[in-house]
Each structure stands twice: as C-alpha cells, then as structure tokens.
Amino acid sequence: MKRTTLKTLALSALFAGGLFNAHANAAEPMPVVASFSILGDLVKVVGGERVAVTTLAGPDSDAHTFEPKPTDAKTLLACKLMVVNGLHFEPWAEKLAKSANFKGDMVIAAKGVKPRAMPEEKGHEDKGHNDPKDQEAGGHQLHDIDPHAWQNPNNVIVYVRNIAAGLAKADASGAATYQANAEAYVKELQALDASIKTQLAAIPVAKRKVITSHDAFGYFAAQYKVKFLAQQGVNTEAEPSAKEIGQLIGQIKREKVRAIFIENMSNPKMLAQLSKDAGATVGGTLYSDALSGADQPGSSYLKMMNHNLTQLLAGMKLN
C-alpha cells in the first residue's frame, strides 16, 4: 500500500510538473516586430502581456529614412508576426522581410483606411514603385498617398482592429483577449476624437493655421479643419528648394501665421531660419512620425496626440 502511495505521489508530481511546464511554455509572450514606434505602442496595447514587442524604428527615429541592420533580420526571424503601416510609409520593412526570408504573418495596419491623396506637387518622388497593381482604395498609386493615417484617431480604430485580427491569427488562444483589448482602446480613441473637436471649437476656423517641418498632418487637418503649411513635402528625404522656402515665407506673411512647430525627428535649423525670415515664433515640439522617449510627453499614441493638441492650441491662439 505504501509502495503504491509513493508511486502515485511520484506520478502526481511528474504530472503536475508537466502541467506546470506546459503552462509556463504557454505563457511565453508571443514575439512580434513593429516597423516603427507608434505601431509598437498600438501592438502593446492590443496584445497586452501576451506579446513581446520589438520596434525597429524606435522613439524619435525617422521611419522614412530608417535603414535596417543585420541584427534586425535576426530579430524578425525569431518572430511570428510583423506589423507595418503600409501606404508606402516604410518600403524598407517589406524588403527586410523578403531578404530575411521571413515566414511569419505580416499585418498591414492601415488596410481598409481611406487614403488621402497628396497634392500633386507634394507626392512622393518616384522610387521605382510604379507597378499598376500596387494601388490602394481610390485608385491612387502608393507614392501619391499620404501615409500618415494615424493622425486621425478614427483611422487608428482601423489599425487596432487589424492588429487584433493579426494577433488572433498567430495566437488563436488569445483571440478573445486581443478583441477585448482592441475594443476597450477603441472607446479611448473615440473619446480622443471627441475631445480634440471640443477643444478646437474654441479656435475660429480662420485662425486654425500652423507651420510644421514636414507635411505629416494631412489627416489631422482634414478631420479637424486645421491648415498646415510645411517646408518639406511628405517625404523627409527631400529638402525644399530656396524657391519653395521663399514661397512659404510669402504665404506665412500673407496669412499672418505666428507659430512654427518643430517635429521630434526633424533638424530644427532650417525651421528656425524660416521663422526668423518670416517673423513667426517657434513653438513647442510636435510628434508626428515617432513617439518620444519614456521621459518625454509623447511616449504613447494617446499622450502624443494630447500633447500635440495642447501645443497647436497655444500656437493658433497667437494668429
């Protein structure tokens, strides 16, 4: 009897140990790569403790000009899922996945967003991405599209639902969690949209004019009736010509715009010179294509948007 009891206990301990190890393995966070910091934040919100997120173009980094390192390929190969913006924002990400022979799933966060066409003179320069099949909704070529769709919180609702679906596909047992996290965040995004509208209502539409270092706020402008004047086009790789800067200075003076904003991943020298020549005031830093570090006010998407709104309101009140 004693021998049977000991055997039973041993088997029970072995079985319990097996269950423990299986649970431990099941509890391992799923590795996910996000192309840039804003997406990284969204994936963390939706994935919660079930995911371990690596961001390639990190805080204060310009995803337009980011160049992956060999270690990024190794990181990607260790992941089950890659999340990118799409809309030709980070063409290097797809090239990285192809060159690394990535076999996991890829989520295009902006899939389903109604893209905003760039004005002809501000479209992306032709980067050899002219395949007619590479089109988004509306029939626009990818290089003619403004990729900064996250500047409208309603588009981010599309992002988080796409991310939730992608995470659920890669980790079916977490599907309910991802869905719940996404829908809880959707409510926060809807509240953010309402808050921005309410606060901007205090500024007459005629005074909603600001100057930024590059044209990254088109979706915000369209949603909230704010006019953004930018010294660069949508692509930060292209420097504005002297003629373009001269035209912008003339427009600033005609429209009596008083506040200029520098973005966190931009070189401030040219914008500072522009403000001097145009007689405008350099305002606070805006976050457009990248979050800030943890110790700065734009360390998450919601914080970034609220910080930007505070800065913009202060600047527009000077007009």
Could you read off the pLDDT of 78-132 as tens digits, one per residue?
Answer: 999 999 999 999 999 999 999 999 999 999 999 999 999 876 544 333 333 333 3
126 shares a domain with 56 = yes
Of the candidates 155, 139, 144, 154, the one whose C-alpha atom is nearest the C-alpha of residue 117 is: 144
Of the candidates 96, 148, 106, the one whose C-alpha atom is nearest the C-alpha of residue 124 is: 148
Q: How many domains does the chain divide into?
A: 2
For the four alpha carbons of 70, 75, 79 and 81, in that order, the dihedral sign comes to negative
Looking at residue 311, its pLDDT comes to 94
Using pLDDT thresholds of 50, 70 and 90, give the confidence band for residue 245. Answer: confident
Of 173, 194, 215, the last residue of a domain is 194
For β-strands 81-84 and 281-286, DSSP reports them as: unpaired
Looking at residue 246, its pLDDT comes to 77
34 shares a domain with 90 = yes
226 shares a domain with 209 = yes
Could you read off the pLDDT of 25-49 as tens digits, one per residue?
Answer: 456 999 999 999 999 999 999 999 9
Looking at residue 182, its pLDDT comes to 98
Could you read off the pLDDT of 47-63 as tens digits, one per residue?
Answer: 999 999 999 999 999 89
Q: Is residue 8 part of a domain?
A: no
13 or 309, which is more confident: 309
Q: Is residue 7 part of a domain?
A: no
Residue found under tokens 């909230």? 224
134 shares a domain with 48 = yes
* CATH value at residue 75: 3.40.50.1980
* Distance from chain centroid for Cα 280: 29
Alpha helices of the chain — where are they, by DSSP H?
2-26, 37-47, 70-77, 91-99, 153-170, 175-200, 218-224, 242-255, 268-278, 301-316
The model carries a pTM of 0.80
Looking at residue 306, its pLDDT comes to 98
Q: Is residue 292 part of a domain?
A: yes
Q: Compute how many other C-beta atoms are within 10 angstroms of the C-beta atom of residue 309.
A: 18
168 shares a domain with 44 = yes
Of 170, 194, 218, the last residue of a domain is 194
Looking at residue 35, its pLDDT comes to 98
237 shares a domain with 97 = no
153 shares a domain with 38 = yes
Looking at residue 139, its pLDDT comes to 40
Residue found under tokens 């004019």? 209
Could you read off the pLDDT of 201-242 as tens digits, one per residue?
Answer: 999 999 998 888 668 999 999 999 999 887 554 444 556 677
34 shares a domain with 176 = yes
Calpha distance 220→238 (Å, rounded): 22
Q: Tokens standing for 315?
A: 């600047």
Beta bridge partners of 34: 55, 83
Checking if the pLDDT of 249 tops 70, the result is yes
Using pLDDT thresholds of 50, 70 and 90, give the confidence band for residue 248. Answer: confident
* Distance from chain centroid for Cα 81: 17
233 shares a domain with 190 = no
Could you read off the pLDDT of 161-193 as tens digits, one per residue?
Answer: 999 999 999 999 999 999 999 999 999 999 999
Of 166, 194, 222, the last residue of a domain is 194
Using pLDDT thresholds of 50, 70 and 90, give the confidence band for residue 142. Answer: very low
Q: Tokens standing for 278?
A: 């145009």
Residues 16-25, mean pLDDT to the nearest whole number: 40
Domain region containing 139: 26-194
Q: Tokens standing for 202?
A: 């205090």
Looking at residue 277, its pLDDT comes to 79
Q: Is residue 230 part of a domain?
A: yes
